Amino acid sequence: MNHRQLEAFTAVMRTGTASRAAELMGVTQPAVSRALSELERSVGFALFARVQNRLLPTPEGRQFFEEVDASFRGVDRLRAAAARIRDRGQGALRLGTLSALGSSLVPKAVKRFRDQHPDIAVTVMVAASRSIRDGVADGAFDLGLAAEEIDLTGIVHQPFLAPEALCALPAAHRLAGQAVITAADLDGEDYVAYVPEDRARQRLDRVLAEAGAAPRVVVETIYAATVCALVSEGAGFGFVSSYAAGGMDLSRLVLKPFVPAVPIRTLLILPPDRPKSRLVRDMIDALMACR
């Protein structure tokens, strides 16, 4: 059997006669009759009973039509999907992000992206940087934003952000009124820190040590949002970027410039050996525009 024979069969089922099916297909009536006869020989059973110039489907013909019709609907869906991909790109986009950007920059970028692609569903997953890295490498995410300490093997990466660390203090802290916080100011203070493997934590610890400052680490976490929440509760001071404080209640904590300057670096990561789709390129442009 071939597509032309199935098309003739479908046309006859829908119109009831070979002549009307021929008009629908833009061919001659004998061509339709010949296609039906060839299809019947191919399938091995009668598709129609010929009664007074009409073609009445046999029970086998009706059952076969259900399968053919479902197949044609599947082809129609494929055509529609191809049109959507051609016109708008793939139908969904999956973005993984570290928490520091998940409540500030990323929502703005998603809004900008969806203004351009209102029919595209976006999934945003906030997770630890190592999980974002693994998800990108495995293809679970189309792109990701992660801290610099991740394993860079098996992914494509580029610098994305490097804002200077700000010192976050409880609103009632004794240092909250100072214009600038120095490393020496923090000697003996309770410290809400990132985990030791965090590169920004390592740079900050070196700066503190060089100034002879020895704050007390009271909590360690991988999430900048958790640092902000703990500082707001008075647990101690911490270091965050301005992006991480987005959406926080700034009546309960204050952000002060810290000297010397220490960058908190973030990477944009992509799956290896995979060309960027139009949607991924547009999301990258939206992320870049919102920095």
Boundary residue ending a domain (87, 121, 137): 87
Q: Are residues 205 and 280 located together in one domain of the fold?
A: no
| Full residue range of the structural domain in which residue 60 is found | 3-87
| Domain boundary residue, one of 87, 116, 146 | 87
- Are residues 15 and 142 located together in one domain of the fold? no
Dmax over CA atoms of the chain, in Å, equals 105
Whole-model pTM: value is 0.68
The pLDDT of residue 50 is 82
Alpha carbon distance 18, 35 (integer Å) = 10
C-alpha distances (whole Å) from 268 to each of 70, 131, 155, 201 are: 43, 14, 10, 20
Residue-wise pLDDT for 110-149, tens only, equals 999 999 999 899 999 999 999 999 999 998 999 999 999 9
The alpha carbon of residue 150 and the mean position of all alpha carbons in its chain are separated, in whole angstroms, by 19
CATH number at residue 198: 3.40.190.10
Residue 157 confidence (pLDDT) = 96
What the block records as the tokens of 261 is 């300057």
**173-229 residue pLDDT tens:** 999 999 999 999 999 999 999 999 999 999 999 999 999 999 999 999 999 989 999
